[in-house]
Amino acid sequence: MLRNPELMASLRDTRFDAVVADPMMLCGSPTSACETLGRADIWLIRTFWDLDYPRPFLPNFKFVGGLHCKPAKPLPQEMEAFVQSSGDDGIVVFSLGSMVKNLTKERANVIAAGLGKVPQKVVWRYSGEKPDSLAPNTRIYDWIPQNDLLGHPKTKAFITHGGTNGLYEAIYHAVPLVGIPLFGDQPDNILRMTHRGAAVMLNFQSLTSEELTKAVQTVISDPAYKASVQRLSDIQRDQPMTPLDTAVFWIEFVMRHGGAKHLRVQSHALNWFQYHSLDTGATLLAALMMAIFIIYKGLRFFISRCFSSRRREKTD
């Protein structure tokens, strides 16, 4: 299989829910978004069956969830020292994603107070004002090497908003979750992990410091959460090719063969009348109406003949 380092690097860093590979989009006249999507030969879906639910898909849908995941690298020296200072209790990693850079003072203080009650050290990605209730066991960073922290042997739990990238990094490194979803697909993602026994879900608006402390301690102390996420990790890793190699293969496949038309569903070539089978429906409806008409006429003729025969008998 060919390997393009630049392509692999760009795919690993992607934040799109789906990557559309179609060489026809690189030439010709401008098209609308619907036309562009309709001309896609291969779809790279940023989930996998450890997190997704089984359902029918077309052959040009390739699932590459976790393509950005990779073994952990050493942490920066200062951060490694803080992590090592946690001793046997380990650390908790907390991030609400790159889109949430600030919180209200009240929410930040509630969260900080809850984190301060756990015996673990906490690495918190947060760019807002330092909370008044921040405890000595919690350290705030504007940015954290999330994948490397989740892959660190001292990491015991991950508090997350439920973004797909973070979930797959947690699955890859088998770290149980405390989910605080905010918007978009995050509630659904956390519900899936909760259903699989690998997470506890909290409500951001009504969250109390006691609930946060209890949730963190639950996923750390109850071995069932670790076992569940380890099972998901085993599924994620047990594939013929890594998700990144799969994505690269199919993109290069499209490039080598000038597309993958043999995998595309032909419904894209139909107009709306044909797509919704209105022509077939109209034919079947006409046939049904004709059958009803013939039956009606036949019954009417039969009944009229019967009544005619009886009238003649009475006359005679």
**Same domain (yes/no): 85, 123:** yes
Q: Are 176 and 196 in contact (CB under 8 A)?
A: no
Same domain, 213 and 157: yes
CA atoms of 247 and 3, how far apart (whole Å): 11
Whether residue 57 sits in one domain with residue 92: no
- Please, which residues bridge with residue 18 across strands? 45
Q: Is residue 231 part of a domain?
A: yes
Domain co-membership, 91 together with 181: yes
Please indicate, yes or no, whether residues 295 and 161 belong to a single structural domain of this protein. no
Q: What is the per-residue pLDDT for 303?
A: 83
Residues 221 and 253 placed together within one structural domain of the fold = no
Show Cβ contacts of residue 257 under 8 Å, excluding neighbours closer than 6 positions: none
State the residue range of the domain holding 11. Answer: 5-67+242-269
- Give one DSSP letter per residue of 85-118, joined into a string: TTGGG-EEEEE--TT-----HHHHHHHHHHHTTS
Are 62 and 195 within one domain? Answer: no
Q: Could you tell me the CATH number of the domain that includes residue 181?
A: 3.40.50.2000
Same-domain pairing of 230 and 148 = yes
Give residues with Cβ within 8 angstroms of 206, minimum separation 6. Answer: none
In a domain, 221, yes or no: yes
What stretches of the chain show up as alpha helix (H) in DSSP?
5-12, 33-38, 77-84, 105-115, 146-150, 164-172, 186-195, 209-221, 223-237, 243-257, 272-275, 278-315
18 and 89 co-located in one domain:
no
- Of 237, 254, 285, the one marking the end of a domain is 237
Q: Is residue 51 part of a domain?
A: yes
For 158, phi then psi, to 5°, come to -130, 120
Q: Is residue 100 part of a domain?
A: yes
Token pair of 217, please?
Answer: 């301690």
Number of domains in the chain: 3
Q: How far apart are CA 232 and CA 244, in angstroms?
A: 18
Determine the Cα–Cα distance for residues 242 and 245; give it in Å rounded to an integer. 5
Tokens of residue 12, six digits: 């690993």
Same domain, 262 and 122: no
Do 82 and 28 lie in a common domain?
no
Is there a domain that residue 72 lies in?
no
**196 in the same domain as 180:** yes
pLDDT in tens, the chain (316 residues): 445 665 555 655 555 455 444 554 555 567 777 777 777 888 999 888 888 888 888 889 999 999 999 999 999 999 999 999 999 999 999 999 888 878 899 999 999 999 999 999 999 999 888 999 999 999 999 999 999 999 999 999 999 999 999 999 999 999 999 999 999 889 999 999 999 999 999 999 999 999 999 999 999 999 999 999 999 999 999 999 999 999 999 999 988 988 888 888 877 778 888 888 888 899 999 999 999 999 998 888 888 878 776 666 666 5
Say what the pLDDT of residue 146 is: 95
- CA distances in angstroms from 263 to 45, 181, 266, listed in the order given: 15, 36, 9
Model confidence pTM above 0.85: no
